[in-house]
Amino acid sequence: MKKTQVLDWLYRTAAFMEENKTYLTKLDTAIGDADHGNNMHRGFSNVIEQLPKYEEKDIGSICKAVAMVLISKVGGASGPLYGTMFMQAANTVNGKEELSGDDLKKFLKAGLEGIIMRGKASVGDKTMVDAYTPALAAFSDSIENGDDISSALDKAVAASEEGMKSTIPLIAKKGRASYLGERSKDHQDPGATSLTLMLTAMRDASKA
C-alpha cells in the first residue's frame, strides 16, 4: 500500500463519514447520546482540512497528525479511542513511504491494541472491538496465507461487517450505551459501524 493510497484511505473515510453521518447518529440515538455521526464527521473533515500540510511527510507522521486532530476535534469517546488507534498504529510505520502486507498487519494490530488500552473493552462488550478483532484476525490469516493486501482487506471487511452485526443482540458493557443495560439489545453498535466504514474505505483505497 503506497502513501498515496493511505492518503486516499483518509479522504475516502472522510467521505464515508459525511455520507453516513445521519445513519451513525441514528444508531447512536437509539443507545447513546446521538452524536457519533456528527463527531466522526467533524473529526474527519478536520483531518482532511489539515491533510495537505502533511502529505509530503512519511506515513507514520501522517497518521500521527490524524491522531492529534481526532483527539482534539471528535469530542466524544471515539476521539480518544480512534486517536489512540492512529497514534499506536503510526508508531509501527515511522519513516515509511509504503506498507507491505506485513507492515499493514502490524499497523492494524497496534491500532486495535491502542483502542483496547484506551477503552478497556473486550469482545462482546458491544463496541468497535467486536468488529475490529475478527477483522484483524481475518486480515492476518489472509496475509500469512500469501494473499495480497487488497484481498486480505476484502476478508477483513467481511469479518468486520459480521462482527458489526454481531453487536445487535448484545448488551452494552462500555460507554453511554451501558447505562441502558438490557435496553441496549437489538441495536447495532455505532462504533463497530464506523470502524467497519473505516476498513471499507481502506479496502477501496487499496484497489484504486
Distance CA 201, CA 1 (A): 13
Shortest separation between residue 165's beta carbon and another protein, angstroms: 24
At what angle are helices 190-207 and 129-144 packed, to 10 degrees? 30
Residue 66 or residue 81: which is nearer to another protein going by CB? 81
Q: Which residues bind another protein (CB under 8 A)?
A: 33, 35, 38-39, 42, 68, 71-81, 83-84, 87, 118-119, 175-176
Distance CA 45, CA 169 (A): 32
**Diameter of the chain measured on Cα atoms:** 49
Shortest separation between residue 59's beta carbon and another protein, angstroms: 21
What are the φ and ψ backbone dihedral angles of 2, each rounded to 5 degrees? -80, 165
Residue 121 or residue 202: which is nearer to another protein going by CB? 121
Shortest separation between residue 79's beta carbon and another protein, angstroms: 6
